Amino acid sequence: MPAIPAGAYGQGPSCFDRMKLGFAIGFFVGISSGALFGGFSSFRYGLRGRELYTNVGKLMLQGGGTFGTFMAIGTGIRC
């Protein structure tokens, strides 16, 4: 059985695709950590109801965006 040529199956994902994946993974990790830390700190401050949801939601989006951006930059550096 002959060996398969190196370019027979195409190429892997591009650098931009890897950066998108890095951002997505970082975003979801940031959202989960924002939910945990934001929820505990909001309970500690005594927030309940709508204030709790808006504060935790804001922290989740901020954490997700920040961590996702850093993961995308780190992935771009590795390309």
pLDDT of the chain along its 79 residues, tens only? 666 666 556 688 899 999 999 999 999 999 999 999 999 999 899 888 899 899 999 999 999 999 999 999 999 999 8
pLDDT, residue 11, reads 80
| pTM (whole model) above 0.75 | yes
DSSP conformational letter for 5: P
pLDDT, residue 67, reads 96
Say which amino acid occupies 30: G
pLDDT, residue 6, reads 61
